[in-house]
A and B are shown apart, each in its own frame.
Chain A
Amino acid sequence: KQEVTQIPAALSVPEGENLVLNCSFTDSAIYNLQWFRQDPGKGLTSLLLIQSSQREQTSGRLNASLDKSSGRSTLYIAASQPGDSATYLCAVRRRGGTSYDKVIFGPGTSLSVIP
C-alpha cells in the first residue's frame, strides 16, 4: 500500500531564504509525482509534474527532484516571497492495478514566509 509523508509539517522562514520541502513514498512503482500548492479556502494549483523517468523539473523559482529508488522527492523554492505562503502537497500517481489514476496525497507542508 502506497503511503506518502511530508516533512516538515510546517515551516516558517524569513523572506528571501531558499528552502526545501520533502516528500517520501513507500512504493517506488509510481507513474509520476506532482507537487501542488493550496491557498487557504482555495483549490489545488499544480506546480510541477515529474514523470517516473525524469529526475527533476524546474519552473521559475521552483525545482522539484525525484529519486524513485529511494522513494523521495524534494521541492526547492529559491528566494522565498510572502506570496509563497501556502500548503504544499506532494501527490504520487501509482502504476499498475486497476487504474493509473489513483493519486495518493501526502498530508502537506504548511509554509509561512515572513516579510
Chain B
Amino acid sequence: EAGVTQFPSHSVIEKGQTVTLRCDPISGHDNLYWYRRVMGKEIKFLLHFVKESKQDESGMPNNRFLAERTGGTYSTLKVQPAELEDSGVYFCASSQEEGNTIYFGEGSWLTVV
C-alpha cells in the first residue's frame, strides 16, 4: 500500500513567487492534514480536511496560504506570494478515521531566497 506522497520534495523559489505543494494521502483516508516546521521551530499544525471540507484551518498563518482538496482526494497548498519566513518543511499526513494513527509523508522542503 502506498504511503502519503508529497511533491515536490524540494523547492527553491524567489521571494514573491508562487509555489504549490501537492499531497496524495493514503487511499481511503478521509482525513488529511498539513503541518510545517520552520527553521528552529517545532512542527505546527496548519489545517485539517475531512474529505473535501476544511474541518479546522486555525493554524494557517495568513492569507498568503491557500489549501484545497477538490474531490476529497489529493490536496494542494499554495503559497502566494512567498516570503523568506515561509522557508521550512511542509508535511502532509492522513488518517482513516478521527483518533487513528496519523501517517506522515516525507515532506516538501521549501526554501525562499
* Interface set of A (CB-CB < 8 Å, partner B): 31-32, 34, 36, 41-46, 49, 51, 89, 91, 93, 98-108
Contact = CB atoms under 8 A, between A and B. Distances in A.
Given A43-B106, A43-B107, A101 B101 contact: no
Contacts, number: 62
For the residues of A in contact with B, the DSSP-based class is strand
Interface of B: 4, 6, 31, 33, 35, 42-45, 48, 55-56, 58-59, 91, 93, 95, 98-99, 101-107, 109
Contact of A43 (B33, B98, B99, B104): B104
Given A100-B99, A101-B48, A43 B42 contact: no
Given A46-B104, A89-B43, A99 B91 contact: no
B103 A101 contact: no
In the A-B complex, the 9 residue pairs with the smallest Cβ-Cβ separation, listed nearest first, are A43-B106, A44-B104, A105-B43, A99-B56, A100-B98, A43-B107, A49-B101, A43-B104, A101-B48
Nearest to A89: B43
